Amino acid sequence: MVYSKRVDGRKFDQPREMEAKVGIIKRADGSAYFRIGKTIAIAAVYGPRELYPAFMQNPETGILRCNYDMMSFSVTERKRPGPNRRSVEISLVTENALMPVLDLSLFPNTVTDVFIQIIQADAGTRCAGISAAAMALADAGIPMKDLVAAISVGKVGDKIVLDLNKEEEDYKEGSTDIPVAVMPRNGEISLLQLDGDVSKDDLLQALKMAKKGCDEIYKIQRQALKEKYSGGNEDEL
């Protein structure tokens, strides 16, 4: 099936409009807001703080604990409140995507909690949550060797496209969704999932496109942190 034009008029390699802010929740140790298109994620970090019960503590390093959830009103059909199998899976995926950039060895026997809430959903929610969480961890002052930027890429009809929206995810002729998280400084991938079928050549093209999209997100993330901490002087970051 030929997919000749995106439903929202974007180019095939063009992400949706993005916006990012940090320090939005004053009572959290770190927090961030990230919007891509109509999808909005808020992340809050609490910790490092002592982990209880004590048998869960690791004397050699701290523990990262992520909690992802979608607000009941974030989707057209009201979501049942509370965790479900999908949110538990995405919480674990988020931890795995963020851990490679963190150094929690300075905080043995502690836990750093990251709470991610999707307040409006239009596809790409796990990627938006990861991008928000990375900024919130930086805002909390957690030692990090890089940020993590995440975006979805996929195949809609016969085209590889960047940053699928809901209409493209639900494309009647079939689509493939590939969430990708990247550590932008070295280009390493910390998350790669695949929902659907895609050829090796298409996958390589998709990953190249995803890295380009993550570089754009990285600029937005840096700008948000720069505005809060360096008064607009990027050289200090």
- Strands across the sheet with 18-22, in order? 18-22, 30-36, 39-50, 110-120, 63-70
90-125: pLDDT as tens digits:
999 999 999 999 999 999 999 999 999 999 999 999
Q: What is the pLDDT of residue 91?
A: 97
pLDDT by residue (tens digit) across 130-175?
999 999 999 999 999 999 999 999 999 889 999 999 988 888 777 8
Query: Would you tell me how many other CB atoms lie within 10 Å of the CB of residue 168?
Result: 22
- Which domains, from first to last, does the chain contain? 18-223 (3.30.230.70)
Range with the lowest mean pLDDT among 67-71, 170-174, 175-179, 213-217? 170-174
- Classify 93 as helix, strand or coil: helix
Mean pLDDT score, 195-214: 93
Using only C-alpha atoms, the chain has a radius of gyration, in whole angstroms, of: 18
